[in-house]
Amino acid sequence: HAWSQLCPRLSRSHSSDDGEEGSSSTIASAAAERIHSILEMMYELSEEERAERTTYDSIAAAIEKSMNRSNDDALVSRTISPNASSYNAILTAWSNCSDRKSATKALDLFRMMLERYNISCHARDALVRNKCQNELSSSKPRRDFTAKTDSFPDSRTLVALLKSIQILSSSMEFEDALNFVDSIREFATKVDDQNEWSHAQDILPPTGKRKPDRIFNVFVCNAIIRTYSNLPATTLEEYRRCCERIDDLIEILESSHSVKPDVATRGMAIHAWEKSHRFAHECSDKEAKNCAKMRSAKARVHADAILSHMQSTTSRRGLLFEKPLSIICDVIAMHGDAGETTEAEELYLRAREGNTSYVPILAAIIEALSSNAANNILHVKKAHQFLSEFENDIMKSNLRVLPDMKFTRLYNAVIAGYISSTEKTDGIELAKTLLTHMIEKHTSNPQHIARPNTTTFVKVMTALARGEDNAQQLDMLLGEMDKINNQSKLLPAELAANVVPNKVAYDLVL
C-alpha cells in the first residue's frame, strides 16, 4: 500500500513540470515494479504452502477456521495469500504511470489474476465445505463460512483496468478497443449474475450469507462510459457507436434496482454526444451536419434528467455547481448549432430557475441565439431580452457585484449578433442602441456591469464604416472612447473600463 501511494503522488507533484516528467514516470514505474515483485513473492510462498497440503487438509482447515474451533491439530496457514486489494494496488500503480508499457503490464496482471482464480472453483469449494460442515455438525444450525477468497477481481480492479485501457486505446484499432471494453462490461455482468445465482442457491459467497456486493456498480459503470467516450474514433459512425453503447448502458441502469445513473454518468454521456457533434461540425459532409438535431436530442434527454435530479433535492444549490452548469451549457450550444433556438430557450429557462447567478448558462444561450442571427433577428432580440433581465436582477440584488470581463463579453455577443443579422439596417441600429446604453450606465455608475471595452466600440464602428453618411456617428463614438479613457484614469483598477482609442478606431473614422 505504501509503495502504491507513491505513483499518484509523483504524478501530481510533477504534473506542471515538463522537465521532470520523464524522471517522475521512471520512478513511478519502478515503484509499480516493486509492488509487483512483493505480490509475486506472496503468491509463490502461498502456492508453496498449498502444494504441501492435500485437498482434504485444505478443506478441513477451511472448516475448522469457519466454525471457530480451537483445535491444536488444525492446519494454520503460515503465509498470506494475495487478495483483491493486493492486485488492485498494483493495477492502480500501473494505471497511474500513464504510459503504454505500464498499461500493457496492467492488462497482463488482470489476465494473471483471472488465471489464478476461477469462479466455478469458488462455487465448487463452497458446495464441498457446505456438505462437510453438515456432516460434521448435523445437530447444530448451519454456520456461515466467512473465509474470504479475496483474489477475485472486484469493482476497484475494473476501474483501474479501464484507466489503463484508455491509455492503450490510442494505439489500438477502434474495433479492437471497442470489443475490449465490451468484454469487460460483459465480464462484470456475468460475475454479478453468477453471484446472484449462488446466493439464491444458498452457495455461500465469500461474504457469508450476506448478499455479495455487485462488481458492476456506479463506479465501474462510469469508468466504462468514460472509456467508451475516449476511444480512438475517427469517423462519425464510430462516434455514433460509442454514444449508442453509452445510452444503452444508461438505459439498463435506469431499469436496475441496484445501480442508478448519477449526475456524473449523465454528464459523461452528454460529453460523448458533444464530441460527436463537434466532430460532425468540423466535417464537410452535409449529411453529417444534418444529424445535429438527432445528437442534440440525445444529449437533451440526459440534460433533463440531470436538472430533474438536481431540482428534486431539498436544496437547489446543486444547480450552482460548476460541473452540472458546464454540462447544460454544452447542450444549449448543441441546440444552437442545430438551429433549435426554441429548445435552447426552454433548457435555459429551466436551468436558471431558482438561481441568482447563472452567467455560464446565460452566456451559452446568448451565443446560441446570436449565432442564429442570420436566420432571424428576433433570435438576437430574445438574447438581448435575457441579458436585460439578468442586468436588472443583478443590479437590484443585494449582492456586491462589480463590472467584469465576463459581463462585457455578454454585451459584446449580443452586439455581434445584431451586426451579423441579415437585416443590416435594423441590426446596426439596435447594436448602436445597446452600446449607447452601456456608455450611459458606465459613465453614470462605474460599478454597473454594463461596462464597454475597446472591442465593443470597434464592432459597432466597423459596421457603421461599411455604410454611408456615418462619419459623424463614427466621430462621436471616437470622442466617447476618449472620454471613457480619461475617466478610467481616475477610477480604481477594478472599475476602470479598458477603452483606448487605438489605430483601428482612428482608421475607421478616417
- Give pLDDT tens digits for 75-113: 555 556 677 777 888 788 777 776 777 778 888 888 777
Distance, CA of 372 to CA of 19 (rounded, Å) = 46
Category of 68 on φ-ψ map: left (φ > 0), alpha (ψ -120 to 50) or beta: left
Distance, CA of 427 to CA of 413 (rounded, Å) = 13
- Give pLDDT tens digits for 234-288: 888 999 999 999 999 999 888 887 778 888 899 999 999 999 988 887 776 666 6
pLDDT band at 470 (very low <50, low <70, confident <90, very high): confident
CB 384 within 8 A of CB 414: yes
* 59 has a pLDDT exceeding 50: yes
Distance, CA of 306 to CA of 264 (rounded, Å) = 9
- Give pLDDT tens digits for 292-309: 889 999 999 999 998 888
CB 121 within 8 A of CB 203: no
- Give pLDDT tens digits for 330-362: 999 999 998 999 999 999 998 887 565 578 899
pLDDT in the model for residue 460: 93
Backbone angles phi, psi at 161, to 5 degrees: -65, -45
- Give pLDDT tens digits for 355-385: 655 788 999 999 999 999 888 899 999 999 9
pLDDT in the model for residue 212: 67
Nearest one of 208, 8, 205, 207 to 93, comparing CA atoms: 8
For the chain, the average pLDDT equals 79
Distance, CA of 148 to CA of 213 (rounded, Å) = 13
pLDDT band at 187 (very low <50, low <70, confident <90, very high): confident
Distance, CA of 54 to CA of 51 (rounded, Å) = 8
Distance, CA of 120 to CA of 29 (rounded, Å) = 34
Three cell numbers written together for 49: 504452502
pLDDT in the model for residue 12: 45
Most confident option among 2-11, 56-65, 443-452: 443-452
Return all residues near 117 (Cβ < 8 A) that are at least 6 apart. Answer: 149, 151, 152
Return all residues near 243 (Cβ < 8 A) that are at least 6 apart. Answer: 269, 272, 273, 276, 295, 298
What 276-279 contacts at long range (C-beta under 8 Å, 24+ apart), as own/partner pairs, is 276/236, 276/239, 276/240, 276/242, 276/243, 277/334, 277/337, 279/233, 279/236, 279/239
Residue 76 CB neighbour total at 10 angstroms: 9
pLDDT in the model for residue 424: 85
Residue 318 CB neighbour total at 10 angstroms: 15
Nearest one of 408, 355, 362, 364 to 385, comparing CA atoms: 362
* 138 has a pLDDT exceeding 60: no
Average pLDDT for 127-136: 52
**C-alpha angle with apex 175: 96 to 303, nearest 5 degrees?**
70
Return all residues near 339 (Cβ < 8 A) that are at least 6 apart. Answer: 292, 293, 372, 375
pLDDT band at 394 (very low <50, low <70, confident <90, very high): confident
- The pTM of the full predicted model, rounded to 2 decimals, is 0.77
Percentage of residues of the chain with pLDDT beyond 90: 34
Distance, CA of 243 to CA of 431 (rounded, Å) = 41
* 133 has a pLDDT exceeding 60: no
Distance, CA of 3 to CA of 90 (rounded, Å) = 9
Category of 145 on φ-ψ map: left (φ > 0), alpha (ψ -120 to 50) or beta: beta
Tell me how far CA of residue 410 lies from CA of 336, 363, 450, in angstroms.
16, 6, 9
SS3 content of the chain, % helix, strand, coil (to 5): 70, 0, 30
Three cell numbers written together for 245: 453503447
* 322 has a pLDDT exceeding 60: no
Sign of CA dihedral 451, 457, 463, 469: positive
Burial of 115 (0-12, 13-18, 19+ CB in 10 A): exposed
Task: Return the minimum-mean-pLDDT range out of 16-30, 238-252, 440-454.
Answer: 16-30
CA gyration radius, the chain: 32
Distance, CA of 359 to CA of 366 (rounded, Å) = 10
Average pLDDT for 476-497: 92
Task: Return the minimum-mean-pLDDT range out of 16-25, 167-176, 191-200.
Answer: 16-25
Amino acid found at 158:
L
Three cell numbers written together for 474: 463614427
Average pLDDT for 202-225: 73
* 405 has a pLDDT exceeding 90: yes
